[in-house]
Amino acid sequence: MRIKKVAFWEHVLEWRFEPIYFSNLALLVGVSGVGKTQILKGISRLKEIANGASLNGLAWDITFSTIDIDNDVEYRWQGEFETKKNPVIIPNQEDEAHNFRIVREHLSRNGDTIIERNSTEIKFKGNTTPKLSPFQSAVQILNQEEDILPVQQGFNQIIYSSNLSSVNEYYDLPLRLIPNNLISDVLLNKVKSSNLPIQIKIALIDRNSIIFNEIKRAFIQAFPQVEDIKIEAVEDDDSSFTSFPIQIKEKGVNNWISQDNISSGMLKTLILISELYLSPEGTVILIDEFENSLGINCIDVVTDLLTENRNIQFILTSHHPYIINNISMEYWKIVTRTGGVVTVKDAKDLNLGKSRHQAFTQLINLEEYSEGIKVE
């Protein structure tokens, strides 16, 4: 999918996010606490809603495109959950206590209404449906319908890149499923389009495959002391669970270096590079505080890959001067907040200088950037 425009209302927090327009790459910049992370979380919550989550007080309006067989298809999805300021758990009424009713929902495809919903009924293509769950989105309930399936599939292509959160986890995946020889293009595409964690994807591609060597080449460009990488599945003796530890081989060092002894910056760089190569076309990758754990050498390599990739949409946040100055100002989104109203402006709207250095100097001196939070 490609997110074109999104707006949110967090009624419990009393925050409103004015419409934000996105291109293939967006760098959200601004001072801490202005709302950059909340924008990424809001997009991630839409994925949860599309898969059945019920979220207190959230309203949304998102326009996005999905890739059809012959062309791009544009959808607009709007909706709102009821707001409970202090949800009360009612004994023996678990649904009412832990879920929130949808009070409105609308989905259109290329301008034609598919779903029209209020608090009492759902209409699908103009026909009233039987009574369905009041707590789940119609995108989840009707996800097998031809016009709606691409919507849920699109939202499932959103990745909130936590980078290091799962590299030490075990998975219920038998070793026999790991191929022992060069994988085919068909299997490679299946690996890319799967929802498997990234380290399992790396383990599933053969170490001699072209794509693995591309990942290794990019990683070694950031860390020239490294000469090889491997990720081998290891099955636990007492269960069917499998881990996928990362190992690297450095020049002049005889033994492989285990994951426990690899720096967080190196691990994060490898995960980011791998996500770039092993995510299918149409993936949306959200990265909060892009600079975290990355050294200058890593930032340069990964940033180059981000700007070169046109098949994946990236939405990043940062307030690090080096990051901002190394991404073209056409991708800058300056985030400001007045009370609970979050507004995002393009760099071009602020009449910044033509050169990147001049624009960056003007940016950091802008009142919108340096004093991004105002009290009404």
pLDDT at 76: 98
pTM equals 0.86
pLDDT at 376: 54
pLDDT at 67: 73
Q: How far apart are the C-alpha atoms of 51 and 220, rounded to whole Å?
A: 38
- Residue 13 DSSP SS3: coil
pLDDT at 43: 97
What are the residues whose beta carbons fall under 8 Å from the beta carbon of 12, sequence distance 6 or more?
56, 57, 83, 85
CA distances from 114 to 60, 106, 124, 127, 139 (A): 17, 8, 6, 10, 10
Measured in degrees and rounded to the nearest 5, phi and psi for residue 272 equal: -65, -45
Q: How far apart are the C-alpha atoms of 59 and 199, rounded to whole Å?
A: 34
CA-closest candidate to residue 105, choices 65, 61, 52: 61
Measured in degrees and rounded to the nearest 5, phi and psi for residue 250 equal: -100, 155
SS (H, E, C) 202-267: HHHCCCCCHHHHHHHHHHHHHCCCEEEEEECCEECCCCCCEECCEEEEECCCCCCECHHHCCHHHH
Q: How far apart are the C-alpha atoms of 89 and 99, rounded to whole Å?
A: 10
Tell the burial category of 149 from Cβ atoms under 10 Å away from its Cβ (0-12, 13-18, 19+). Answer: middle
Q: How far apart are the C-alpha atoms of 272 and 305, rounded to whole Å?
A: 10
Structure tokens at 122: 């759902």
CA-closest candidate to residue 142, choices 156, 118, 122: 122
Q: What is the pLDDT along the chain (376 residues), one digit of tens a residue?
A: 999 999 999 999 899 999 999 999 999 998 888 999 999 999 999 999 999 999 999 999 999 998 765 577 999 999 999 999 876 555 445 555 578 999 999 999 999 999 999 999 999 999 999 999 999 999 999 999 999 999 999 999 999 875 444 555 544 544 445 555 556 677 778 888 887 778 788 888 877 688 899 999 999 999 999 999 988 777 766 656 667 788 999 999 999 999 889 988 888 889 889 988 998 889 999 999 888 867 777 888 888 888 777 789 999 998 778 788 888 888 999 999 999 999 999 888 877 766 666 777 777 667 666 666 665 5
pLDDT at 374: 63
Considering Cα of 258, then 259, then 264, then 269, what sign does the dihedral take?
A: positive
CA distances from 351 to 258, 265, 318, 322, 330 (A): 50, 36, 21, 21, 12
DSSP letter (8 states) at residue 256: P
- Residue 169 DSSP SS3: coil
Q: Are 141 and 121 in contact (CB under 8 A)?
A: no
Longest Cα–Cα distance in the chain: 70
pLDDT at 96: 58
